[in-house]
Amino acid sequence: MTDYAGLLKQGTAGLEKAGVEDIELNARELLGKALGINCRSRDFDAALNRQIDPQVQREFENLCKRRTEGEPLQYLVGEWEFYGLTFKVGEGVLIPRQDTETVVDTVLKKAPKDRKLTVADLCTGSGCIAMALEKHLDCRQLIGVELSDKALGFLQHNIKLNDSKMQVLKGDITLKQTAQQLPVCDVITANPPYLTRRDMEELQKEVTFEPRSALYGGDDGLDFYRHIVINFKDRIKPGGFFAFEIGAGMEEDVMTILVRHGFENVRASKDACGIFRCVTGYKK
């Protein structure tokens, strides 16, 4: 084995042995990281028949080892794509997931296109929902609310990376005073922590590396929806709406919370797997 193609093959075999899913993708991403070349670029394919640099080999083998120990691929690579944008990620911030693109799609379908909008994204984390919306909507003001200092570090980096104009509000969304610092919005989005106590006991190994504070939504997973609707319902204009990401099977409960607080036209939309993933409700 003298070239990177051989090293890639060896790495792929190692990942397979350890039971990692999507071994080819994982191995290419990790080799790209070790080489400092995006594995989806032509340069990567061109590099495959180059002579191996021992330092790159050590780095690649170390990344593969960490991957077999369960560290998420996205953290090892250090950035991930969401809605065509790139986000820096790492320990301390939730990894952008494809499911979450459903929230963006739903908001883009429902949001008025004939005027400038004021938008807030709660529990914004990496900022992926907010910045994806910013790319496709005419935002007068876009605010991301986040509590975790670690997540805020990634968020600031992502704002620069994506040349975003979003503003950041550090705050706890379970407190009314955080809501009072927001302007009245056309749209408020959130992908809050929503895993139940049971879910937390059965986490996939990779997910245990992600911040518990971004995952756990209380016994029934619904704590944050209750807090958000109660605290932020006055921060939505009449005719404006909430759009929440939800966990599988939560649509009835989350819709009920919105209906109880007087929201209208409450609906759930499905993700690419056919699971209800986003709940929306309009302010009267």
Give the residues lining the site for ligand GLN (CB under 6 A).
97, 99, 191-195, 207, 215
User: To the nearest whole angstrom, how small is the minimum distance from the Cβ of residue 82 to ligand GLN?
Assistant: 13
Q: How many CB atoms lie within 10 A of CB 22?
A: 11
User: To the nearest whole angstrom, how small is the minimum distance from the Cβ of residue 100 to ligand GLN?
Assistant: 7
- Beta strands 276-282 and 264-270 are antiparallel
Alpha helices, DSSP H, located in 93-144: 101-110, 128-136
Q: Which amino acid is at 40?
A: R
Contact 121, 145 (CB under 8 A): yes
Residue closer to ligand GLN (CB basis): 11 or 192? 192
Using Cβ positions, the residue closest to ligand GLN within the complex turns out to be 194
Residue closer to ligand GLN (CB basis): 40 or 205? 205
What number of CA atoms fall less than 13 Å from residue 208's CA on the CB side?
A: 9
User: To the nearest whole angstrom, how small is the minimum distance from the Cβ of residue 124 to ligand GLN?
Assistant: 12
User: To the nearest whole angstrom, how small is the minimum distance from the Cβ of residue 236 to ligand GLN?
Assistant: 21
Residue closer to ligand GLN (CB basis): 194 or 263? 194
Residue closer to ligand GLN (CB basis): 104 or 195? 195
User: To the nearest whole angstrom, how small is the minimum distance from the Cβ of residue 215 to ligand GLN?
Assistant: 5
User: To the nearest whole angstrom, how small is the minimum distance from the Cβ of residue 206 to ligand GLN?
Assistant: 9
> Which residue is it, tokens 């400092």?
36
Residue closer to ligand GLN (CB basis): 90 or 193? 193
Nearest to 254 by CA among 267, 240, 239: 267
| Torsion on CA atoms 162, 148, 178, 80, rounded to nearest 10 | 30
Residue closer to ligand GLN (CB basis): 215 or 278? 215
Query: What are residue 80's DSSP bridge partners?
Result: 87
- Beta strands 236-245 and 264-270 are unpaired
User: To the nearest whole angstrom, how small is the minimum distance from the Cβ of residue 226 to ligand GLN?
Assistant: 15
Contact 168, 144 (CB under 8 A): yes
Distance between CA atoms of 266 and 30, rounded to whole angstroms?
Answer: 43
Residue closer to ligand GLN (CB basis): 277 or 283? 277
Tokens representing 61?
């083998």
Distance between CA atoms of 98 and 82, rounded to whole angstroms?
Answer: 7
